Amino acid sequence: MVFHYMEKDMMKKIITSMMHPRLEYAAVVWTPSSKKNKRLLKRWCRN
């Protein structure tokens, strides 16, 4: 079995570039109602 490893920064950039636009687009539809979810979403977007 072959495993390929990526640097943490590179993986973060890939995930952010793929997920951030989807979260931003979908946020209008599902609007996180709890304060906890809003805080988690904001923290994730800042990083």
Give the model confidence (pLDDT) of 1-47 as tens digits: 455 777 878 888 887 888 778 777 776 666 666 788 778 777 877 76
pLDDT at 6: 75
Q: State if pTM tops 0.75.
A: no
The answer to whether 26 and 20 have CB atoms below 8 angstroms apart is no
State which H helix or E strand residue 22 sits in: helix 8-30
Query: What pLDDT score does 29 carry?
Result: 64
